[in-house]
Amino acid sequence: MLANFNFRIIFEYLPLFLNGLKFTFLISLVALALALVTGIIACACRISGLKFLKYPVIAYIEVIRSTPLLVQIYFLYFGLPTLGIRVPEIQTGIIALMLNSGAYIAEIIRAGISSVDQGQIEAGQSSGLNYFQRMRFIILPQALGVTVPPLLGQAIVLVKDTALLSLISVMELTRSGQTMTSERFMPSEAFLTVAFFYMCIYFCLKALADWSQKKLIFREAY
Amino acid sequence: MMAFYFSRLVEIFPFFLKGLWMTTKVAFLSLIICTLIGFILGMIRSGNNRILKWIIGTYVAFARGTPFVVQIFIVFFIFPEWGLQLEAFPAALLAMAIMGSAFICEIVASGINAIPKGQWESASSSGLTKLQQLRLVILPQSMKVIVPPLVGQYVLLIKDTSVVSVIGVMELTRVGWVTVVRIPEGLMVFALVGILYFSISYPLILLSNYLEQRMAL
């Protein structure tokens, strides 16, 4: 099956793969940070109770959740130039990933906040705390712990989603596999190496997610 | 200019419906295959056979740890080297089956594991065989845990069919991609593609929300 698997060619192309890995890493990191900000703002708008903030955000979340990421990427990639906005592919990709993950993160945070028991909020009210104090001292400290494992799960999804940016010719990990395939036509060597690198990232993040989940269960046992 | 492009877009709308039909076909067939394989693998994974569990665990880690695009490239470009040459459509189905059944396997396994051990014990003391215990006692109870995330997973899988456009399957995303070359109105073309996807997946999202609420009671 892999009798003539050529390791030498992989070492020859290693700089290309490492460069791709670097970009995958950077794009994921930047997109995740931006998505966290987007998610927090979107969630704040959603639970604010102000109708003119709430309904646009609900529409945003539902549209993102019910269309494929690839369509969203193409929408921005082919759509922004028609509006006269010209940005490099990599920025288009980061914006798409930010908007996509932001919607999911908003829902994760909202689930975390609504997991806090209603009695806690009432206790806060009767202690004379106002809305922001209740959020700051009672709800958020309890909600944030619950959101960590699903946020890490979303980070795993985000890293895999960066692979779609190869389709708008961003030089990330999958693209370096495509480049090698088109130069040497050795798809096994190219794509199995790419898969290997993604698996490494996946196992690290998965271990982190499992660890945080275990911590959480441990804490709740008390 | 925009009005002109809009009328062009209306003209070729049947082309989009064809794409929608292809997307539905890929999604429907692969969902059936994924569910079947996923349930079988999930039952084995929640069982006691260590070797089988390890093999399935490795497979699941591969399917969940690598991006779907890479998996499609592996099926479409590498499998021929190993003697499995496939057309674009069956290759897309195979890639979907590999990816989707791994996710469904995890949902099923965790659903079965959520059932208390006492249920197995009482079923076996009633004289049921291992398979009967699973089919008559455990599965009906774990369905309550399995179904809501399963429908959620279906939505994700339907959306993932857009990625099979990269190997040239003429589904909705591919139709948009081909159209945008001729009608350079990216916003309009992909908004239309988005609306068509929305029309399939949004009802399923609502169903998943509804099931989640109902099963929680």
Taking the C-alpha atoms of residue A194 and residue A182, their distance in angstroms, rounded to an integer, is 15
The neighbour count for residue B97, using CB atoms within 10 Å, is 20
Residue B66 has pLDDT above 70, yes or no: yes
Three state DSSP letters for B182-213? HCCCHHHHHHHHHHHHHHHHHHHHHHHHHHHH
Q: What is the mean pLDDT of residues A102-118?
A: 91
Least reliable range by pLDDT among A27-36, A98-107, A172-181:
A172-181
Which A positions 170-209 lie with beta carbon below 8 A of chain B? 174, 177-178, 181, 187-188, 191-192, 194-195, 198-199, 202-203, 206
**Structure confidence at residue A145 (pLDDT):** 82
Residue B96 has pLDDT above 60, yes or no: yes
pLDDT-derived band of residue A150, with 50, 70 and 90 as boundaries?
A: very high
Q: Greatest CA span in chain A, whole angstroms?
A: 73
Average of pLDDT values for B180-193?
89
Nearest to B191 among A75, A161, A181 (CB): A75
Q: Identify the H or E element spanning B217.
A: none
Residue in chain A nearest B185 by alpha carbon: A82
Structure confidence by residue, pLDDT tens digits, B127-145: 888 888 888 888 889 998 8
Whether B177 sits inside 8 A of A67 (CB atoms) is no
Instruction: Report the 10 Å Cβ neighbour count for B176.
Output: 27
pLDDT band per the 50, 70, 90 thresholds, residue A221? low
Helix, strand, coil % over all residues of chain A, rounded to 5: 85, 0, 15
Any CB–CB contact under 8 A between B61 and chain A? yes
**Phi, psi dihedrals of residue A49, rounded to the nearest 5°:** 85, -5
Domains of chain A: 7-220 (1.10.3720.10)
Residue among B73, B82, B161 minimizing CB distance to A1:
B82
Which site among B20, B62, B69, B85 would you substitute to test the A interface, given the most A Cβ atoms closer than 10 Å to its Cβ?
B69
**Over the stretch A188-215, which tens digit does the pLDDT of each residue have?**
889 999 999 999 999 999 999 999 888 8
Domains of chain B with bracketed CATH: 2-216 (1.10.3720.10)
- What is the distance in angstroms between the Cα of B175 and the nearest Cα belonging to chain A? 11
Residues in Cβ contact with A79 at an 8 Å cutoff, skipping those fewer than 6 apart: B186, B187, B190
Length of chain B: 217
